[in-house]
Amino acid sequence: MISSNRPLSPHLQVYRPQITSTLSILHRLTGVALALGTLLLTYWLIAAASGPEAFADAQGLIGSILGRLVLFGWTFALFFHLCNGIRHLAWDAGYGFEIETTTRSGWVVVGASVVLTLVCWVAGYVAMAGA
Amino acid sequence: MSLRSPLARVRGLGSAKDGTSHWWAQRLTALALIPLTVWFCISVIAMSGADYVTVATWAGSPLVGGLLILLIVATFYHGALGLQVVIEDYVHREMVKLVMLLVVKATSLVLALTGILSVLILLFSRT
């Protein structure tokens, strides 16, 4: 193989961030974050399978201030990855490649992820008050 | 230095016959995860602040247990495929890349199995 020192990928620093490129790397970042978050999901399931005491410990940890912060971030990552994933599936099916469309669908994804995250947390606190 | 041309070297080796399988598996799991994730989120939110018995009874019913297992399988399959692409894109030292890919696959497998067994325990210990 011939190897050279020429850059193979565009130099990210010299580009003005655009909604399309920003969301593209965010999709990856949230994907990795969600993969790390599966540790929490697995822990929660193990705790539930281990009995009331272990489950109470897990709920206490997740319900702590730090736990709630992590869970809030995780909720946003989940909804962003979900919404942007649907955007990706539309592209896979051949739709939405116009520049204006990708910009618009990008902002729709941002708005939808923020709204869904907030709706989830409000609903969660309402359910908790009722429990 | 070989005297054979690049074309001669690959000719006859054939394709691996699974060029699109990774891509396709990632899309199928993505599609499956849309309803599964939405269902899981709504269920967990509805149980905010609920006690152990409520959660254990919920997770231990056959339908919920089955859906949870599907969610676990799709999540870890999708996650492992995604992390594989990230590693292949950014890690260029062959040995490091190989080790990281194996660690991701092994970890995903262990976590998925642990999750599935937890659901089965809840299912069979249901009172």
Query: Does residue B18 surpass a pLDDT of 80?
Result: no
Closest-CA residue to A124 (of B55, B36, B46) = B46
- DSSP state for residue A9 in the 8-state scheme: S
Query: Does residue A13 surpass a pLDDT of 80?
Result: no
Token pair belonging to B71: 């969610």
Task: Please state, rounded to an integer, the average pLDDT across all residues of chain B.
Answer: 93
CB A23 within 8 A of CB A81: no
Interface test with B, best of A12, A28, A32, A38 (most B CBs within 10 A): A38
Which residue intervals of chain A are DSSP H helices?
19-50, 52-63, 65-92, 99-130
CB atoms within 10 A of CB B125: 11
Q: At residue A9, what is the residue type?
A: S
CB B115 within 8 A of CB A41: yes
**How far is it, in rounded angstroms, from Cα B47 to Cα B36?**
17
What are A's interface residues with B at a Cβ cutoff of 8 A? Answer: 28, 31-32, 34-35, 38-39, 41-42, 45-46, 48-49, 51-52, 55-56, 78, 82, 85-86, 88-89, 92, 120, 123-125, 127-129, 131
B37–A45 C-beta distance less than 8 A = no
Q: Which of A35, A49, A55 lies at the smallest CB-CB distance from B82?
A: A35
In chain A, % of residues over pLDDT 90: 83
**How far is it, in rounded angstroms, from Cα A46 to Cα B13?**
47
Interface test with B, best of A34, A45, A125 (most B CBs within 10 A): A45
**How far is it, in rounded angstroms, from Cα B46 to Cα B56?**
14
CB B39 within 8 A of CB A97: no
CB A34 within 8 A of CB A81: yes
Q: Which of B45, B56, B111 lies at the smallest CB-CB distance from A48?
A: B56
**How far is it, in rounded angstroms, from Cα B69 to Cα A65?**
30
Task: Tell me the CATH architecture of domain A19-130.
Answer: Up-down Bundle (1.20)
Q: Quick one: pLDDT at residue B35?
A: 98
This complex has an ipTM of 0.89
pLDDT digits (tens, 9 = 90+) for A48-103: 999 999 999 999 999 999 999 999 999 999 999 999 999 999 999 999 999 999 99
List, in order, residues 6 or more apart from A61 with CB less than 8 Å away.
Answer: A67
Token pair belonging to B87: 């590693």
Q: Quick one: pLDDT at residue B6?
A: 83
Token pair belonging to A125: 């606190």
pLDDT digits (tens, 9 = 90+) for B53-94: 999 999 999 999 999 999 999 999 999 999 999 999 999 999
In chain A, % of residues over pLDDT 70: 92
* Domains of chain B with bracketed CATH: 22-124 (1.20.1300.10)
Query: Does residue A4 surpass a pLDDT of 90?
Result: no
Closest-CA distance of chain B to residue A89, Å: 7
